[in-house]
């Protein structure tokens, strides 16, 4: 019996070879092995051979890296915009939290559930902690 330890992509469980497919012992997910085509289709092989005989250089299309520099900058800008919208949307709630009011009082004043107020309070604590750590580094 063949096993692969901690290889399940869903639960990081152990895979066992079950016939011609792998199955996770923990979550039961099946993984089907890829059977790569080692030989190109006959039409492509004939076309490549003809181009090589004629001396033509075939320019291969290069794949772009998944995260290009421009994409990273746009992600940073998008995160900043999202945080700004969050601050504006929850401005009144944040004011009441800074005053030291209870979650129940704030939920009745703002018209949101107590759970929503608690979630905003946790996010506010996380954002302020992140800003403080960035200020200490700078």
Could you read off the pLDDT of 60-77 as tens digits, one per residue? 555 655 555 556 677 788
Can you say how many angstroms the Cα of residue 74 is from the centroid of all Cα atoms in its chain? 16
Would you state the pLDDT for residue 23? 86
Half-sphere exposure at residue 37, Cβ-oriented, CA atoms within 13 angstroms: 6
Half-sphere exposure at residue 45, Cβ-oriented, CA atoms within 13 angstroms: 6
Would you state the pLDDT for residue 31? 75
Residues in the chain predicted with pLDDT less than 50, given as ranges, are: 37, 58
Q: Residue 130: name the closest of 90, 65, 79 by CA.
A: 79
Which contiguous run of DSSP H or E holds residue 16?
strand 15-18
21 bridge partner residues = 18
Would you state the pLDDT for residue 103? 93
Would you state the pLDDT for residue 80? 84
Q: Residue 131: name the closest of 78, 87, 95 by CA.
A: 87
30 bridge partner residues = 23
Gap between the Cα atoms of 122 and 105, Å rounded: 17
Would you state the pLDDT for residue 11? 87
Longest dimension (CA), the chain: 82
Would you state the pLDDT for residue 28? 84
CB 29 within 8 A of CB 23: yes
């Amino acid at each position: 019996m063949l096993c692969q330890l901690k290889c399940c992509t869903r639960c990081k469980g152990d895979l066992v070879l079950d016939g011609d497919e792998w199955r996770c012992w923990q979550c039961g997910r099946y993984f089907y092995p890829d059977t790569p085509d080692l030989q190109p289709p006959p039409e492509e092989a004939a076309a490549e051979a003809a181009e090589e005989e004629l001396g033509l250089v075939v320019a291969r299309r290069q794949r772009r890296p998944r995260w290009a520099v421009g994409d990273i900058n746009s992600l940073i800008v998008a995160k900043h915009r999202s945080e700004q919208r969050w601050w504006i949307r929850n401005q009144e709630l944040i004011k009441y939290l800074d005053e030291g009011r209870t979650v129940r009082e704030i939920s009745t004043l703002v018209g949101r559930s107590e759970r929503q107020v608690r979630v905003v309070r946790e996010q506010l604590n996380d954002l302020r902690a992140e800003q403080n750590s960035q200020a200490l580094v700078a």
